[in-house]
Amino acid sequence: MKTYELLTIFKPNLDAEEIDKAVERISASIVEFGGNVSSTDKIGRKKLAYEIQNFRDGFFISMVLSLPAENVAEFRRQLRLNDNILRTMFMETSVKASV
């Protein structure tokens, strides 16, 4: 399994409970695809550089997760289908060489 970092921007009109539930659903989806979540960091509400879907700010969540490579495409597709998410950035984390 490879390690990935997922940065998610949620709509700002969601309250704290709804964001917690959405993060739990994403975590459950990761487990369903055979992965696990290493850490979750709620960065908080931030102003966006430009307007996305008529929103000027969003609630940022960063997650470090492990996921089998064959399930990444389907997981990303499910993220795109979520109406509460404005944007996602999903990237593979590199392992630093020990010298």
Mean pLDDT of all residues in 14-32 = 93
Residue 97 lies in a domain: no
Is-above-0.85 flag for pTM?
yes
Residue 74 lies in a domain: yes
Mean pLDDT of all residues in 11-18 = 92
Residue 98 lies in a domain: no
Residue 99 lies in a domain: no
Residue 8 lies in a domain: yes
**d(Cα 76, Cα 89) in Å, to the nearest integer?**
10
State how far the alpha carbon of 54 is from the alpha carbons of 6, 11, 27, 34, 57, in Å.
23, 10, 27, 35, 9
Domain that holds residue 47: 2-92
Number of domains in the chain: 1
Q: Is the pLDDT of residue 99 over 90?
A: no
Longest pairwise C-alpha distance within the chain: 48
Q: How confident is the model at residue 1 (pLDDT cuts 50, 70, 90)?
A: confident
Note the pLDDT of residue 98. 65
- Structure-token match 């979750």, residue found: 40
> Whole-number mean pLDDT of the chain?
91
CATH number at 18 reads 3.30.70.60
